[in-house]
């Protein structure tokens, strides 16, 4: 049987799989992706890309421009409410004027809020991955997988027959039922299956109910059904999700019934409705106990299935894929030791669990039966999930006295190791950029002039010794600190330095000058990279 060789095999073409394939290809890592369906999703599914996910995707040329060119501004005009229907005179507003409520975000990140549907993002990622050279194979199914000390052998099946693929590593992004997770025997926790929902994609004239370029997300609670409706998506279609009652199945949702449900949801009995597509899916809360099984890494729903109440499931899956891409790149190019890959589970699993639990808590409030016994309480301040997640692993050199927290207020950035590197506006030869623009292609060492020159020279020597891609930058030299915030937001004095990873997280810092910056930096990088 014919056998092919590839460093990374990705299983599944959802958010996690496509983002991994795109970022691996962008880093010149050969990657093959197999997906049993003939193409990406036609259902809008999730809406919006969280700022953290977009920060990770934006180094790939064209992605941010294409998304923000059409969808920026829609994310800034979002209303979320609990109501009987769209004509409810007294809805309970969860989120009203998003522009005002999230105005502070512009101080924390250079990316725009984007309201694109999942179908559009998946389409864009597929195009980018193929442009960059990723081998994407649709209508192709993984049949079996065997691991050994040197790699993984996978049997895949397509219309052309069976073939073997030999890979160094595999990314299991094959959905919440994840046959790969099951075959590997990875145990799970969580509430399990919580119910089913029928997603009805429809076209209708909602003039007077939906404002132009405004996404409205309404959790509907009435005597006939509970569910959610998303309107004003700008894709020529809207989506109504209806929770299946006990004893119901997908067969109960005929086209005629779907039309009636849409009319009830928008409170327009005579509305002309055209049903474009419908699909039934499970709502679940399933958490893998480990994100790594030998040479296989779980990502997206295979790692953490969460209810859709909160809108962070898709963004979390995108972050998983992007996260695996840079870690695998470092190991495959021998910049990092193989044990470095253990940091994926150590960092992403607590983040995935926290996000899934937060959305489970929202489910109990927004989609009855409410006040479910044993459900967590909703987060008092959910903004931390957007930009305030902290990591702890051997790839982060915590400072003495670190409290080990995994959530912080991003409104008060302090540059601690384990936190997202803060946004600071810089001037680079007359062009305004953000520190966030500096991250993605490798490690970045930043120090402030004039005392920081020693760190820059140390970075040059350590880069040569270790063969690590490392950019050294002096703030207030070639980069001008426009508002004088660098030292405050990164917590370094005039003689200090900070090391930022490819994912834009602070790995290590020295608040002040040291006697031997070369040895200090080299030892820090060796520990971070499991060298």
Residue 373: band (very low, low, confident or very high) from pLDDT cuts 50, 70, 90 = low
Task: Answer whether the bond into residue 247 is a cis peptide, omega within 30°.
Answer: no
Per-residue pLDDT, averaged over 228-241, amounts to: 74
Residue 370 has pLDDT above 80, yes or no: no
Share of the chain above pLDDT 90, in %: 71
Residue 75 has pLDDT above 60, yes or no: no
The C-alpha angle 278, 282, 283, rounded to 5 degrees, equals: 115
Can you give the pLDDT at residue 302? 98
Contact of 355 with 383, CB cutoff 8 Å: no
The count of other CB atoms within 10 Å of the CB of residue 503 is 22
Residue 188 has pLDDT above 80, yes or no: yes
- Of 33-47, 82-96, 288-302, the least confident: 82-96
Per-residue pLDDT, averaged over 317-339, amounts to: 98
The residues, any chain, with a CB within 8 Å of residue 89's CB and separated by 6 or more, are: none
Per-residue pLDDT, averaged over 304-309, amounts to: 93
Residue 523 has pLDDT above 70, yes or no: yes
Where in the sequence numbering do the catalytic residues fall?
219
Can you give the pLDDT at residue 202? 92
How far CA 327 is from CA of 54, 332, 333, 474, 514, in Å, comes to 18, 9, 10, 26, 29
Let me know if domain 3-71+114-188+285-384 sits in CATH 3.50.50.60. yes
Residue 128 has pLDDT above 60, yes or no: yes
Tell me how far apart the alpha carbons of residues 141 and 326 are, in angstroms, rounded to a whole number. 26
Boundaries of every domain in the chain: 3-71+114-188+285-384, 388-528
Q: What is the dihedral of CA 52, 468, 17, 117, to 10 degrees?
A: 30
Can you give the pLDDT at residue 212? 61
Q: What is the dihedral of CA 326, 329, 334, 338, to 10 degrees?
A: 70
Contact of 452 with 474, CB cutoff 8 Å: yes
CATH of domain 388-528: 3.40.30.120
Per-residue pLDDT, averaged over 25-45, amounts to: 92
Tell me how far apart the alpha carbons of residues 172 and 299 are, in angstroms, rounded to a whole number. 6
Tell me the per-residue pLDDT of 137-185, one tens digit each, with 9 for 90 and over.
999 999 999 999 999 999 999 999 999 999 999 999 999 999 999 999 9
State the pTM of this model: 0.94
Can you give the pLDDT at residue 222? 87
The residues, any chain, with a CB within 8 Å of residue 14's CB and separated by 6 or more, are: 41, 122, 173, 175, 300, 301, 317
- Of 66-75, 265-274, 297-306, 318-327, the least confident: 66-75
Residue 197: band (very low, low, confident or very high) from pLDDT cuts 50, 70, 90 = very high
Q: Give residue for tokens 């890979």.
A: 167
**Residue (of 480, 232, 441) closest to 326 by Cα position:** 441
How far CA 84 is from CA of 195, 200, 225, 442, in Å, comes to 20, 18, 10, 50
């Amino acid at each position: 049987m014919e056998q092919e060789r590839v460093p990374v095999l990705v299983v599944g073409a959802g958010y996690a799989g496509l983002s991994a394939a795109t970022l691996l290809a962008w880093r010149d890592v050969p990657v093959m992706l197999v997906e049993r369906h003939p193409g990406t999703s036609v259902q809008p599914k999730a809406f919006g890309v969280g700022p953290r996910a977009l920060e990770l995707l934006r180094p790939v040329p064209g992605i941010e421009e294409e998304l923000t060119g059409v969808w920026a501004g829609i994310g800034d005009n979002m209303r979320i409410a609990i109501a009987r229907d769209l004509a409810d005179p007294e809805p309970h507003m969860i989120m009203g004027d998003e522009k005002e409520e999230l105005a502070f975000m512009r101080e924390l990140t250079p990316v725009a809020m984007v309201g694109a549907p999942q179908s559009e993002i998946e389409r864009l990622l597929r195009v980018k991955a193929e442009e960059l050279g990723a081998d994407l194979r649709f209508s192709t199914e993984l049949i079996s997988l065997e691991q050994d000390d040197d790699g993984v052998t996978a049997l895949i099946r397509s219309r052309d027959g069976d073939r073997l693929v030999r890979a160094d590593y595999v990314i299991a992004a094959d959905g919440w039922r994840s046959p790969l997770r099951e075959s590997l025997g990875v145990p799970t926790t969580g509430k399990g299956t919580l119910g089913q929902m029928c997603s009805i994609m429809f076209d209708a004239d909602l003039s007077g109910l939906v404002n132009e370029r405004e996404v409205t997300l309404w959790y509907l609670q009435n005597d006939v059904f509970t569910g959610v409706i998303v309107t004003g998506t700008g894709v020529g279609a809207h989506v109504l999700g209806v929770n299946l009652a006990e004893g119901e199945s997908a067969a109960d949702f005929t086209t005629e019934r779907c039309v009636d449900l849409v009319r009830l949801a928008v409170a327009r009995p005579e509305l002309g409705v055209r049903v474009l597509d419908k699909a039934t899916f499970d709502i679940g809360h399933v958490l893998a106990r480990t994100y790594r099984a030998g040479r296989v890494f779980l990502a997206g729903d295979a790692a953490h299935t969460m209810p859709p109440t909160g809108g962070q499931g898709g963004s979390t899956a995108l972050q998983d894929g992007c996260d695996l891409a840079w870690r695998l790149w470092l190991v495959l190019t021998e910049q990092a030791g193989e044990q470095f890959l253990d940091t994926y589970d150590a960092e992403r699993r607590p983040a995935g669990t926290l996000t899934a639990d937060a959305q489970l808590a929202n489910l109990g409030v927004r989609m009855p039966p409410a006040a479910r016994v044993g459900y967590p309480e909703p987060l008092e301040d959910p903004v931390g999930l957007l930009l305030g997640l902290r990591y702890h692993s051997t790839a982060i050199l915590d400072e003495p006295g670190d409290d080990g927290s995994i959530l912080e207020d991003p409104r008060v950035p302090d540059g601690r190791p384990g936190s997202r590197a803060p946004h600071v506006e810089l001037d680079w030869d007359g062009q305004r950029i953000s520190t966030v623009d500096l991250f993605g292609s490798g490690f970045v060492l930043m120090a402030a002039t004039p005392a920081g020159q020693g760190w820059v020279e140390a970075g040059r020597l350590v880069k040569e010794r270790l063969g690590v891609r490392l950019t050294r930058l002096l703030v207030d030299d070639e980069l001008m600190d426009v508002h004088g915030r660098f030292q405050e937001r990164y917590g370094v004095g005039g003689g200090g330095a900070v090391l930022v990873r490819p994912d834009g997280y602070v790995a290590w810092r020295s608040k002040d000058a040291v006697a031997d910056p070369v040895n200090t930096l080299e030892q820090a990088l060796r520990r971070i990279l499991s060298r």
